[in-house]
Amino acid sequence: MPEERIKIALTKGRVEQQVVPLLEAAGIDCQQLRNKQRRLIFDSDTQPYQFILAKGPDVTTFLERGAADIGIVGSDILTEHQSSQYELMDLGVGVCQFVLASTADFDPQAPRRKIIGTKYPRITQRYFDQLGRDVEIIKIEGSVELAPLTGLADAIVDITETGTTLRENHLKIYDYLQPVSTRLVVNRLALKQHQRLIYQFVDQLAEVVSKSSKELAK
C-alpha cells in the first residue's frame, strides 16, 4: 500500500455519479467506490488515494480544516460557503444555472420589498445587492419551488439544469444568475505538502476533461 496518500473528498450523489467515470477514464482506481455498500471512506489498494464521500457543504468544511487535501464539489456550494481554497479545475460536469423564478403573476419591478426563498442566502443577497434592491431572504433546505406556490415567498433563487422541475411546478424564470459546475478544489497547504501527487492527479484528470469537452464541442 502506498505510504504517502492524498485524501479526496467527493460530494456523494449526483456529483459522485458524474465524476467517477471521469476518474476511471483518467486511470484512477475507483474499484472501492464502485463497491462501496454503506461505507464512506475508501483506500485504494494500488494507488496513493483515499476517497471520502460527504455532502457538498461538508466537503468545503473538510477542505478548510485540512481533513481533506482535494475536494470535488459544485461551484454553488463553494460560493455559498465562501471557500478560500485553490480552485484548480472546472470538471465540466454538473453544469446548471442559478435562476430567479416565480409564478406567472410575479412582477420583479413591483415597488415593494420582496420575500425570496432560497437554499443559497449569500448568493441571493449578493445578486440583489448588485441590483440595488432590498429583499427579505428566507432560508429553505429543500423543495424550494414550494415557496412561491404556497405564498411563503414572492420568488426563489435556485439552481436548475433543464428547467423541467420549475416548469412542472408552473414556475417561470425571470432572470439568470451565475452558471454552476463541478470544481476540483485543493487545500492551500496540502498543495505544498503533496505537490507531486496532487498535480499528478490533477493532470491525469485534466487530460480526460479536456478530451471530453472537445468531443462535446464537435
- Between 84 and 143, name the residue whose CB sits nearer to another protein: 84
Q: Using H for helix, E for strand and C for coil, what is the string for the chain? A: CCCCCEEEEEECCHHHHHHHHHHHHCCCCCHHHHCCCCCCEEECCCCCEEEEEECHHHHHHHHHCCCCCEEEEEHHHHHHCCCCCEEEEECCCCCEEEEEEECCCCCCCCCCCEEEEECCHHHHHHHHHHHCCCEEEEECCCCCCHHHHHCCCCEEEEEECCCHHHHHCCCEEEEEEEEECEEEEECHHHHHHCHHHHHHHHHHHHHHHHHHHHHHHC
CA 149 to chain centre: 26
Interacting residue with another protein among 193, 207, 210, 211 (CB under 8 A): 193
Q: Which of 37, 46, 82, 109 binds another protein (CB under 8 A)?
A: 82
Give me the phi and psi of 56, to 5 degrees please. Answer: -50, -55
Shortest gap between Cβ of 23 and another protein (angstroms)?
19
39 or 211: whose CB is closer to another protein? 211
59-78: which residues touch another protein (CB under 8 A)? Answer: 61, 64-67
Of the pair 93, 101, the CB lying nearest another protein is at: 93
| Smaller CB separation from another protein, 96 or 149 | 96
Position 86 contacts another protein (CB under 8 A): yes
The nearest distance, CB 193 to another protein, in angstroms, is: 6
Residue 31 or 210 with smaller CB distance to another protein: 210
Q: Is residue 218 involved in binding another protein (CB under 8 A)?
A: no
Q: According to the binding rule CB under 8 A, does residue 48 interact with another protein? A: no
31 part of the interface to another protein, by CB under 8 A: no
Give the nearer residue to another protein in terms of CB position, either 62 or 98: 62
On whether the CB atoms of residues 148 and 158 are closer than 8 A, the answer is no
**186 lies in the binding site for another protein (CB under 8 A):** yes
Q: Residue 195, interface with another protein (CB under 8 A)?
A: yes
Cell reading at 215? 468531443
Interacting residues with another protein (CB under 8 A): 61, 64-67, 81-82, 84, 86-90, 186, 189, 191-193, 195, 199
